[in-house]
Chain A
Amino acid sequence: MNNNNTEIIPSMMITDEEIDFRQYLSSEELSVIEHEVSIMETREAAGIEALKVVQKHRGWISDNSLIAIAQCLQISSAQLEGVATFYNLIYRQKVGHYVIHLCDSISCHLTGYDEILKVIQTYLGIGYGQTTPDGEFTLLSNVCLGSCDKSPAMMINGQHYHSLTNESVVSILNGLSQNAGENV
């Protein structure tokens, strides 16, 4: 863990000059960002949309991506970092192919969250904030997913799963595991 933390420092020493956002960002990413800019009164207001589109294409926001987006929006990378790290759904670390967001809020807490968490952790062998060694699954918590009438709930890559039981959660993860195998 300590080794990983020290790696952050050299990467943040990349200077903005080493990246040219026009080459770094794809034309599709640039066009989404410029469309958002055209709606807003300032370039910085496209920040969330820009982070989301780059994450959609690349899976996460690397330091280089952050610098490129900041350049494109004509703001400092420090300012964009303040925005990026503010949000739960912007990943500033590499995540797995499937990102599990397990709802840990009150309705799920009252209807079996503890056991579901235990089942997922046992099944995948990882805890919150971790990714399986094969890079398939990342486990994260999420504040209330708004599925309180069908709790416990989780969200995986934008898909919502409701009324989870110990059995159903394993079967969902198992199904995704097999999909992952086929993709290889």
Chain B
Amino acid sequence: MTSESWLEQALSQALTRPLTHLVNLEQPLDLQSYVQAGGYIGATKALTQLTPKEVLDIVSDSGLKGRGGAGFPTGMKWGCIPALQDESRQAPPSYLICNGDEMEPGTFKDRYLLEGVPHQLIEAMIIASYTINADKAFLFLRGEYHLAATRLQQAIDQAYENNWLGENIQGTNYQLDLYLHTSAGRYICGEETALINALEGKRAIPRAKPPFPQVSGLFGKPTVVNNVETLSNLPHILKHGSQWFKDLSPNSDPGTKLYAACGQVKNPGVWELPMGVTIRELLYDYAGGMKDDVKLKGLLPGGASTDFLVEQHLDTPMDFDSIGKAGSRLGTGGLIVLGDKHCPVAMVLNLLRFFAQESCGWCTPCRDGTPWAVEILTRIEQGKGSLSDMTQLEDLCDFMWLGKTHCALAPGAVEPLKSAMRYFKDDFEQHIEQGCCPYQSNSNEQAQKEEQIESEHLVREGTNQEGLNLEGINQERDSDE
């Protein structure tokens, strides 16, 4: 496709797929092309025609809710910034932080925006920073997103060269410096107060709230932390108005949403759809339904830290309220789909291992509770569990629940665990009664596969097959480089 026809097609979807219509994963638009495609109009409008309070009012009126998982209204979050409550603008400058630490297992929507249309995020950060009276903004990106880091830094450099960052932006009195910070790999950094500690160079442990970051955040200054997708809506809300944004969705949660599906589906991917598409539509119309020979067992609707839903919930709209009423959370809007040939206990064990590894260790219910759950689940999965283990898991779910922990990590681990024990109770009990994993009745097949791997001489030249090399790295630990 030529670039002209690509652009033409993209622009035809500007009003229905605002977040992704300009996404180009092969080669994202540079600043000039992004401007030609209608970019930076929202930022121009904010900086030249509106006061910060007026921008806040538009965003509040749009009803935009945070897309990072919690669904908190963005306007309300910003409204707590002292500068927005003090018309004289005598309040201290704030910080804006874009949370691009996308590490929730089963979530890859932000990568799409970060790699595919970096200028949209920079424009969005300019609008948000202007509104909350920030003269410095940080883009906190997870360490593994190397391609996104390269493209974002290029876009930031272009924005500086073209006076969209730096002093007197586009001839106004507004000044903003934007820095890319790449992290070094830890899930808890996505929690906003842990993220602030990470940026300050401290061990990334969540802070007690209050004070909330809007009052005392990065380096003790008022700080707003917003998710990539949340921010990316801003240029379009400014450009087309809050009513247009509300009209995008047929129900009470406005806007579009980046939905995704992964796991045992035919066509995993990410799609921008009006908020409130049903799970069934997402699973069958977009993700192509289940993989061959597999029936739906259950799914997590919004990442690893959401409750399982099952067949009976397929017609639930994927919006914050409806998914909440069905007993789960919209989270990040990414389905993780489990088929009926795969062991649900093994799946929950995988999830809990993740949470146990990524627990920051600060509070006891999480630090001790998550590995304890892993230990019990491992026992059950191996066929060595007892029925009292089920009671103990129930107790753990209670010990790790909201209000008993320092942050939402452990409650996030409880959600898939507790719901799995509810919907897949038979499976847990079969493991215990049969003394083995009933899904591995084809274990002969598994053993054959493993033998095949070993017998096919898929061994690197010079590799000692007698045993694993247990020394390797440690020996040279103290040799100076």
Which A residues have a C-beta under 8 Å from some C-beta of B?
1, 4-5, 7-8, 10-11, 39-42, 44-49, 51-52, 58-60, 62-65, 73, 82-83, 86-90, 93-96, 101, 104-107, 109-111, 115, 118-119, 121-127, 129-135, 138, 142-151, 155, 158-160, 166, 170, 173-174, 177
Known contacts: A125-B459, A127-B468, A148-B106. The answer to whether A93 contacts B454 by CB under 8 A is: no
Chain A hits for B460, CB < 8 A: 123-125, 132, 173-174, 177
Known contacts: A106-B351, A111-B264, A148-B334. The answer to whether A64 contacts B480 by CB under 8 A is: yes
- B342 part of interface (Cβ distance < 8 Å): yes
- B186 part of interface (Cβ distance < 8 Å): yes
Chain A hits for B200, CB < 8 A: 40, 42, 44-45
- B441 part of interface (Cβ distance < 8 Å): no
Chain B hits for A122, CB < 8 A: 453-454, 458-459
| Whole-angstrom CA separation of A11 from B474 in the bound complex | 13
Chain A hits for B338, CB < 8 A: 110
* Least CB separation from B338: chain A residue: A110
A149 contacts B268, C-beta separation under 8 Å? yes
B203 contacts A148, C-beta separation under 8 Å? no
Q: 5 other contacts beyond A1-B470, A146-B102, with CB at 8 A cut-off?
A: A88-B184, A88-B186, A115-B449, A144-B354, A148-B260
- B61 part of interface (Cβ distance < 8 Å): no
A40 to B: closest C-beta gap in Å:
8
B354 contacts A160, C-beta separation under 8 Å? no
A143 contacts B103, C-beta separation under 8 Å? yes
Q: Which of B459-481 contact A (CB under 8 A)?
A: 459-465, 468-481
A149 contacts B269, C-beta separation under 8 Å? yes
Chain B hits for A130, CB < 8 A: 468-470, 472-473
Chain B hits for A45, CB < 8 A: 199-201, 219
17 interchain pairs, CB-CB under 8 A? A4-B471, A39-B179, A45-B219, A65-B481, A87-B186, A88-B184, A104-B353, A107-B106, A126-B468, A127-B468, A129-B473, A131-B472, A132-B469, A135-B472, A143-B185, A146-B111, A158-B146
| Whole-angstrom CA separation of A111 from B336 in the bound complex | 11
| Whole-angstrom CA separation of A101 from B145 in the bound complex | 13
| Whole-angstrom CA separation of A83 from B360 in the bound complex | 11
A87 contacts B463, C-beta separation under 8 Å? no
A116 to B: closest C-beta gap in Å:
10
| Whole-angstrom CA separation of A127 from B468 in the bound complex | 7
A161 to B: closest C-beta gap in Å:
13
